Amino acid sequence: MSGPIAPAGDAFILFGASGDLSRKKLLPALYELTTEGRLEMPVIGVANSDWDDKDFVERTKLAVTEYFGADTDVEALHRLCKRLRYVAGEYDDPETWVRLGKLTQDAKTPVAFLAIPPVLFDDVVRGMAEVGLAEHSRVVVEKPFGRDLASAKELNATLHEFLDEPQIYRIDHFLGKEPVQNLLVFRFANSLLESVWNRNHIASVTITMAESFGLEGRGRFYDEVGTIRDVVQNHLLQLVALLTMEPPASRDEDAFVDEKVKVFRAMRPVEPANVVRGQVEGYRKEPGVDQDSNTETFVAMKIEVDSWRWSGVPFYIRAGKSLAETVTEAVVEFQQPPRMLFSDEVHPPEPSRLRFRMKPDDSITLTMQAKVPGNEMVSRAIDMSVEDNEQHGQSTENAYQRLLADALIGEKRLFTRQDGVEEAWRIIDPLLHGPAAELPLYRAGTWGPPEARRFLPEGFGPA
């Protein structure tokens, strides 16, 4: 049973309209919604850049054509541009809000996206409240949701001064990706998994988010964040929750989020002894990076979900930049049979594994044992794979398009909630405030420092 139907949004306000996130992701997503007839409302950009409506239109055209190239639907882009308006000004200037209030005076359910630094949230939500925009609005907040547990609580308090929790949509674009959605369906639409999806049959779970490329000009940002804050606290802990959560009692959005929060509450804070951080050689020479930086570009860790279903199962996480491959995947390793009947020294058995790969392709692979052809009764590993060939390599609905569409209709299932955000920070908070030990270095194109090998199951893939 679902909750009451939320009113549809009738105006979209983009704070930070002149920033990189808007150009690279949000304006293309709004264009895609326009092509599908799901954006029939004014779009108002707000920023301190000295633009007018015409400038905003031209920047939108440039952003969309850069993203889609020759595939751009000119007529749809024209429809979007006709809806664009722009308000120039500082967020602490009352005149900015007077101008915005005039443009949104007829909106009953405005949807505002805060593509701005968190330090500006207070000015924006306060200004929205002063012109009557906050009371019935939905406010989409882009990660990061703080820098640690204390700042996350402070940020939530700022938002709650003018907004109720149901109005706040904390966006983690990772949850909107098609392969992540596929993982969720695979888990809960196939009942054969339920009987083996527990500590009695699963030996370990290994989650990898590796990038073969480096900072790509984001040195200043990355040096203030690091791998743990950038992808572990949000993307990868969310992935652990999707793999381990209990089936929701209903399709209601709160029922779905409740189960994820239960997983976070069952996780112990990560002990520093269960973590290896590393820094790629040459990192300190990158533009924008402090020459004495101790920011990690790689992390491997072991975490535990201390629940009835998962107690005792290690969850290994590794993530980083300038590694050997670009790959995002979760590998579930099953327990070995009690006796190895069909093995010898030449053909050592491998455990059965279920691999959910999200990047570079969208595939699910089950590795099992089968007989080696010939006279001997020995086994070998074989893979049974399913790939989404229909969508692989094609332009599919991107994460921001899906999540913006959900925000416009009031669907919160793929967004994070205050208690979940704070629990995720609690899990990794001990790693953020300990003594700053010198990080081991690793060469670009490898799998991180050798010390990280101990956080992978025996025989697990490349390292």
pLDDT in tens, 383-427: 888 776 554 433 345 789 999 999 999 999 889 999 999 999 999
- Note the pLDDT of residue 250: 86
Catalytic residue list: 235
- Note the pLDDT of residue 445: 95
What does the buried/exposed string (b/e) look like for 228-255 if buried means 16 or more CB atoms within 10 Å of the residue's CB? Answer: bbbbbbbbbbbbbbbbbbeebeeeebbb
80, containing H or E segment: helix 74-82
Over residues 79-105, the mean pLDDT reads: 96
Look at residues 96, 119, 108 and name the one whose alpha carbon lies nearest to residue 48: 96
- When the pLDDT of each residue in the chain is averaged and rounded to a whole number, the result is 90
pLDDT band at 338 (very low <50, low <70, confident <90, very high): low
Do the beta carbons of residue 256 and residue 248 sit within 8 Å? yes
Phi then psi dihedrals of residue 148, to 5 deg: -165, -175
Q: Provide the whole-model pTM.
A: 0.89
- Note the pLDDT of residue 393: 38
The pLDDT tens digits of the residues spanning 123-145 come to 999 999 999 999 999 999 988 78
What does the buried/exposed string (b/e) look like for 292-311 if buried means 16 or more CB atoms within 10 Å of the residue's CB? Answer: ebebbbbbbbbbbbebebbe
- Note the pLDDT of residue 112: 98
Domains, the chain, with CATH or none: 11-142 (3.40.50.720), 175-392 (3.30.360.10)
- Residue 96 in this model has a pLDDT that exceeds 80: yes
Over residues 11-28, the mean pLDDT reads: 96
The pLDDT tens digits of the residues spanning 141-186 come to 988 789 999 999 999 999 999 999 999 999 988 888 888 888 888 8
Look at residues 359, 277, 360, 279 and name the one whose alpha carbon lies nearest to residue 322: 279
Look at residues 271, 290, 174, 315 and name the one whose alpha carbon lies nearest to residue 226: 290
- Note the pLDDT of residue 2: 47
- Note the pLDDT of residue 350: 77
pLDDT band at 343 (very low <50, low <70, confident <90, very high): low
Count CA within 13 A, CB hemisphere, residue 104: 31
- Note the pLDDT of residue 455: 78
Measured distance between the N- and C-terminal CA atoms of the chain, rounded to whole angstroms: 46
CA 136/CA 317 separation, integer angstroms: 40
CA 272/CA 431 separation, integer angstroms: 6
Phi then psi dihedrals of residue 457, to 5 deg: -65, 155
* pLDDT above 90 coverage of the chain, percent: 71
- Note the pLDDT of residue 342: 59
Over residues 320-325, the mean pLDDT reads: 96
Count CA within 13 A, CB hemisphere, residue 149: 15
Look at residues 241, 242, 302 and name the one whose alpha carbon lies nearest to residue 460: 302
- Residue 364 in this model has a pLDDT that exceeds 80: yes
CA 404/CA 111 separation, integer angstroms: 9
Over residues 45-51, the mean pLDDT reads: 96
Any residues with CB less than 8 A from the CB of 218 and at least 6 apart, and which? Answer: 288
